[in-house]
Structure 1
Amino acid sequence: MNILIAEDEQDIRDLVALHLNKEGFNVFQAADGIEALNILSGEKIDIAILDVMMPKLDGFTVVRKIRESSDIPVIFLTARSEDNDKILGLGLGADDYMVKPFSPIELMARVQAQLRRYYRYTNGKNNNLLSLGDLTLNKESFTIHKGEVLLELNAKEYRILELLMENVGKVYTKKQLYEIVWQEPYYGDDNTIMVHISHIREKIEDNPRNPTYLKTIRGIGYKLEKV
């Protein structure tokens, strides 16, 4: 999933991004309110973490703009602990509010809670995003990221990985993979599938010789495994 952290202090942005990346999120960073809105207009953001006191546009103004077209979760970070500020932020449409200094671990827990609540109340997951560990596949843009790194896959490699990510834990035979992805009859050409699987492992695995995600089920086929 894609998360926006909008905060004018780079040390805080980097700290939050570090923890989010460890949890497998794809992080976009903004140093001011204008940059935050530009990211929101150009990317599919699932949750926004906003500093209240930002240059150019403050967090209150940004959340107003967000609520004109989106109901994604918004968490405020602020050094201001006054009740009036909290009431204003929540009244404008923020979902949660954390006062600096804050615990990154607590922030991660609140991010997860907001996402669970949001997707439960919007009839489940975002069907255009598939996530597994630090892998994120976007079916709208036909892209796959590992953490923040965009992976370069050809069309067949992408389709194989999309199929397997849509059906994590399900074992596909070489025949099934070939006929679904190539949409042609399978005549026992094992090498084609094996080469594509090898190339996918080289791109998604930390150690392709000892894969974490893409497993071989000897004598049957392949599956993606939860990590």
Structure 2
Amino acid sequence: MTEPLLAPTSGQALILIAEDEPEIAEILIAYLKRTGFQTVHAQDGRRALELHQTLKPDLVLLDVMMPKLDGWMVLAEIRHRGNTPVIMLTAHDQDMDKLMGLRIGADDYIVKPFNPAEVIARVQAVLRRCADQEHGASHSVLRVDAFEIDIDSHEVSVRIGTRNQPLSLTVTEFRLLAQLAKAPRRVFSRAELLVLCSPESDSLERTVDSHISKLRRKIEDLGLRGVPSSIRGVGYRFGNLA
């Protein structure tokens, strides 16, 4: 039975869940509705594109492995149509999968099995970021924990006690810190960071380790530890946020 196509209620963001496993879809629907979102569900890639075209959802939670059209094909078509935020749901915690999604235009990734509460937090963060960009705020100034990162002026300050301490960084160190701060809970692989923060370079991935090490040492000199945070065998994220 085909679900009715209802226009989203004013003020409630509409989330399109493209997921072929009913149990996972039901959990996501329950958590999203409990948080105040509206949802619509597609069990295959073709239906997901139909619902995207008809309902214009505010965000898409998109499984990679789906019948009829896989998540990569759906993502590519959504990007061809516009800039709807997309969070990929994948059972593959592989760098190449993440890089493929990055190149096609995914906004974030969540690896199965996942904590539903984390999914909600990611959805809220992506929607908030897109709203800021739409209203012209963009990310000219990023504020994460004790850090204030001014993208335009390439300046960083760190709050130590009641004082803001300047943090002097190289261009690459600044790019790495800013990239991690844009999605502080997300783990970036070395390959992703190399592409995002040093696209003009032909450096090897291990050079990312060297830059991260120098960046961390400068931050430790100010009295803070654990930024950036290393995730063994995967890559780096901003830090161990509470």
Asked if 1:33 corresponds to 2:45, the answer is yes
CA distance in 1, matches of 2:133, 2:44: 30
Identify unmatched segments of 5+ residues in structure 2. Answer: 1-12, 137-242
Q: Answer whether contact 1:8 1:32 (CA < 8 A) is retained.
A: yes
Root-mean-square deviation over aligned CA pairs:
1.3
State the alpha-carbon separation in 2 of the partners of residues 37 and 110 from structure 1: 22
1:58 alignment counterpart: 70
Amino acid in the other structure paired with 1:24: G
The Cα of 1:70 is off from its aligned counterpart by 1.6
Unaligned stretches of 5+ residues in structure 1: 125-227
| Aligned 1:161-172 pairs, distance under 5 A | none
**TM-score of the superposed pair, with normalisation by structure 1:** 0.54
Q: Which residue of 2 aligns with 1:12?
A: 24
Residue in 1 that maps onto 2:15: 3
Counting only pairs closer than 5 Å after superposition, residues 1-227 of structure 1 correspond to structure 2 as 1-123=13-135
1:51-80 CA-to-partner distances (Å, cap 9, x unmatched) read: 001000000000100011221210000111
Amino acid at match of 1:52: V
- What is the aligned residue count? 125
Name the structure, 1 or 2, with higher relative contact order (CA <8 Å, separation 6+): 1
CA distance in structure 2 between the partners assigned to 1:112 and 1:41 by the alignment: 22
For residue 46 of structure 1, report the CA deviation from its aligned partner.
0.2
Contact 1:6 1:32 in 2 (8 A): yes
Is the Cα contact below 8 Å between 1:72 and 1:118 reproduced in 2? no
The residue type paired with residue 76 of structure 1 is M
Aligned to 2:160: none
- Secondary structure of 2:15's counterpart equals strand
Cα deviation, 1:168-215, whole Å, max 9, x if unaligned, reads xxxxxxxxxxxxxxxxxxxxxxxxxxxxxxxxxxxxxxxxxxxxxxxx
Greater Cα radius of gyration, structure 1 or 2: 1
Q: Which aligned runs of 4 or more in structure 1 are off by greater than 3 angstroms?
A: none
Residues 4 and 27 in structure 1, CA contact (< 8 A), matched pair in contact too: yes
SS of structure 2 residue aligned to 1:68: helix
Distance 2:38 2:94 in 1: 32
Kindly indicate whether the alpha-carbon contact (under 8 Å) linking 1:20 and 1:27 is maintained by their aligned counterparts in 2: yes
User: In 1, distance between residues paired with 2:68 and 2:92?
Assistant: 18
Identity of aligned residues (%): 50
In the TM superposition, residue 90 of structure 1 has moved relative to its aligned partner by: 1.5
Distance (Å, rounded) in 2 between the aligned partners of 1:114 and 1:24: 16
Q: Which amino acid aligns with 1:56?
A: K
Scaled by the length of structure 2, what TM-score is found? 0.51
State how far apart, in whole Å, the 2-side matches of 1:2 and 1:44 are.
8
Deviation digits for residues 132-164 of structure 1 (CA, Å, limit 9, x no counterpart): xxxxxxxxxxxxxxxxxxxxxxxxxxxxxxxxx
